[in-house]
A and B are shown apart, each in its own frame.
Chain A
Amino acid sequence: MAQSDARLPVRKTYKLFIGGAFPRSESGRSYVVNDARGGFLANASQASRKDARDAVGAARKAFGGWSGRTPYNRGQILYRIAEMLEGRRGQFVEELRAAGAAKGAAGAEVDEAVDRWVWYAGWADKLAAVAGSANPVAGPFFNFSTPEPTGVVAIVAPDSPLLGLVSVVAPAIVSGNTCVVVASEPAPLPAITLAEVLATSDLPGGVVNVLTGRRAELAPWLASHMDVNALDLAGAPADLAGSLEEAAAGNLKRVLRPGPEAGIERMTALLETKTVWHPVGT
């Protein structure tokens, strides 16, 4: 048998992440992703509206279980994501460099992404104390308000391929929401690699669903979908944001306009408040 010196490269097929699985787009389409210098990097799946619909279905299915977990358990799982991400540090640095980041900057971005998961993980069991309240009322009632997840969140992720993505996904899911994310259009590859991290972190399938493809094609379907409860416009281009917000009004979705990259507001924006009047005394 003839021996060749050069080993055949084994390249990764970048697919979607829906319901805990990695399917190709039902449309069979893909698009070319280039590196910062314009050279070929990989083909990414180009999701269709039906993939978006399937992703919403998966997110809805996962919502009951995920929101029903104890906040403590959700915190543990988010911390686990940070651990898994840390373990793949080198891979993410490579991917970020391919997407144009300088070596030092890429390393710093991965570190910051890991730290962000840890930061939100810590919030899981403290959110109710900070965002909830005991309310003084004139009557024999103990009146208290607790935060509840809003449901399925559609997210248009910003172009910062890893840190930007983590910054929108972590605050959405920490409180028990599930989400469908449209990854950065020019730099979708780290999003799919992050999906591999999520898939191995005890995060139930369907809690995070990642679509790659054309934002202008996918976002309107998610914005108008009647089974989506909130819309994060973090990465929506200005010319698209207005029409998305309009479409989101169809079922009164909560709409989160671009704002600070991290902070408690990102979490509280995706919460509902449940107030209970509990009778006390005689």
Chain B
Amino acid sequence: MGAEERAARLATRSIKTTAKAEAIDLAIGMVDLTTLEGADTPGKVRAMCAKAVHPDPTDPEVPRVAAVCVYPDLVAEAVRAVEGSGVGVAAVATAFPSGRAPLEAKLADTRAAVAAGATEIDMVIDRGAFLAGDYMKVWDEIVATREACGDAHLKVIFETGELATYDNVRRASWLAMHAGADFIKTSTGKLSPAATLPVTLVMLEAVRDFRARTGRRVGVKPAGGIRTTKDAIKYLVLVNETAGPDWLDPAAFRLGASSLLNDLLMQRQKLRTGVYAGPDYFTLD
């Protein structure tokens, strides 16, 4: 109730100067730097990993990002590239982005990614089954994937743009958390609308209530469509005001993005040097 109004109101908060500097560094540390294109090459993945480890090569003070996010077949390449840096490697598995494949194929996808060294698995739920009311099928798939993950963290993607209502988002959140998700994630980034503030608000309320009920902290990851520092800071305000400061931690909140990182770096440089930065002075994303 009132999710849109509340998200809109929180989005008007003004975060400036030192608070902004801290928010930018926090946001950089929360980024899951993502490349999920059919045209991804090992070289592109290596370049992105280098950027993940040293986002701004001219400034060693810039924190590294939380993780890189790639397709399962490129996990091995990414693992080699980020080795020893502390950057995680997330793989989208389970027939990403549609989730339309037999369960065996989805599990094989997951196991292959984990075997290649992925520390995090981003799975998609079967939206068709969810919308048809077959919640048990969704549940079983999450549980099975959870098992296939082994030690890797499991993020469950809802593709909220396809779930139609906030009630469905809340329901899916609850289902995924009980089924063992470590993170719940808004979108694949392949569909518009992707992450929105109200949807993230609903999910943050769900993880807050879930911890009150069970004591377990589940993370939230909005992904797709977050391109500017201003957007990222809006999400951080939302996290702080909804789930609480405990979630202002890369272990509990991530931002799935690619072009966002350069904007964060440009804003960071603007604060540091006092002049507006230009994209020519940063690596491509």
Q: In the complex the two chains form, is A225's CB within 8 Å of B280's CB?
A: no
CB distance from A15 to the nearest CB of B (A): 23
CB of B128 within 8 Å of the partner chain: no
Indicate with 1 or 0, residue by residue over A82-112, a CB within 8 angstroms of chain B CB atoms.
0000000000000000000000000000000
* CA A227 to CA B276, docked complex, whole Å: 8
Question: Is A133 part of the contact surface with B, judged by Cβ < 8 Å?
Answer: no
Within 8 A of A (CB), among B263-285: 274-281
The residue among B277, B278, B279, B280 with the most chain A CB atoms within 10 A of its own CB is: B278
Bound: A53/B276 CA distance, A: 8
Per-position 1/0 for A249-262, Cβ under 8 A of B: 01100000000000
- The yes or no answer to A224 lying at the interface (CB within 8 A) is yes
- 1/0 per residue, CB under 8 A from B, across A207-228: the answer is 0000000000000010011111
Q: Are A224 and B278 in contact (CB under 8 A)?
A: no
A227 in contact with B275 (CB, 8 Å):
no
The number of residues on chain A lying at the interface, defined by a beta carbon within 8 Å of a beta carbon of chain B, is: 11
CB-nearest residue of chain B to A228:
B278
Interface size bucket, B side?
under 10
Contacts of A225 in B (CB 8 A): 275-276, 278
> Chain A interface secondary structure, helix, strand, loop or mixed?
helix
Is the pair A221, B278 in contact by a Cβ cutoff of 8 Å?
no
Residues of B within 8 A of A56 (CB): 276
Interface string of A52-66 (1 = CB under 8 A from B): 010010000000000
**Candidates B274, B278, B279; contact of A251 at CB < 8 Å:** B278
**What chain B residues lie within 8 Å of A228 (beta carbons)?**
278
- List CB contacts (< 8 Å) of A225-242 with chain B: 225-228
Chain B residues within an 8 Å CB radius of A227: 276-280
Contact with B along A173-196 (1 / 0, CB 8 A): 000000000000000000000000
**Is the Cβ of B276 less than 8 Å from the Cβ of A250?**
no
Kindly name the residue among B274, B275, B280 whose own CB sees the greatest number of chain A CB atoms within 10 A: B275
* Chain B interface residues toward A at CB < 8 A: 274-281
Please, could you name 22 A-B residue pairs with CB atoms under 8 Å apart, sorted by A?
A: A53-B276, A56-B276, A221-B275, A221-B276, A224-B274, A224-B275, A225-B275, A225-B276, A225-B278, A226-B275, A226-B277, A226-B278, A226-B280, A227-B276, A227-B277, A227-B278, A227-B279, A227-B280, A228-B278, A250-B275, A251-B278, A251-B281
Residues of A within 8 A of B (CB): 53, 56, 221, 224-228, 247, 250-251
Contacts A247-B275, A251-B278 aside, 16 further interface pairs with beta carbons under 8 A come to A56-B276, A221-B275, A224-B274, A224-B275, A224-B276, A225-B276, A225-B278, A226-B278, A226-B280, A227-B276, A227-B277, A227-B278, A227-B279, A227-B280, A250-B275, A251-B281
